[in-house]
Amino acid sequence: MYAAGLAIRPLRSRRPGAVSRIAARALLVALVVLMVGLSLARIAHGGSPAPDTTVVVQPGDTLWSIAASHYPGDDVRVRVDDIEQANRLRSPVIEVGQTLRLPG
């Protein structure tokens, strides 16, 4: 048997092309979750120097020491890899006077 009455409504919108309240709320929640996730990812990335920051290698400098001093609080291993990739280095060997780009 089918129930019929005033409380039963069709699952269609009242006007063509209208977005239901549930779909609108779901879209809003998804957008908020995305924005929070991006904000947390930015925070987790830590304080980094401005984009296109460069540094000239001084005597005694290593990629590790440069990464540790310019990216405090970040994982130094990841930052060393970032510097290597940004400068297309084939090894972690750097020379005095060499200019390195530090990714943001």
- Classify residue 71 as exposed, middle or buried by CB count within 10 Å of its CB (0-12, 13-18, 19+): buried
pLDDT at 9: 63
pLDDT at 50: 54
For the chain, list the domains and their CATH numbers: 48-102 (3.10.350.10)
pTM higher than the cut 0.85: no
pLDDT at 6: 61
Would you give per-residue pLDDT tens digits along the chain (104 residues)?
555 656 666 665 566 656 677 878 888 899 888 888 887 777 776 655 556 689 999 999 999 999 999 998 889 999 999 999 999 999 889 999 999 999 87
DSSP 3-18: --STT---SS-SSTTP
Which stretches of 2-104 are assigned E, i.e. beta strand? Answer: 53-56, 99-102
Give me 14's structure tokens: 């009242």
pLDDT at 44: 73
Beta carbons within 10 angstroms of residue 40's beta carbon: 10
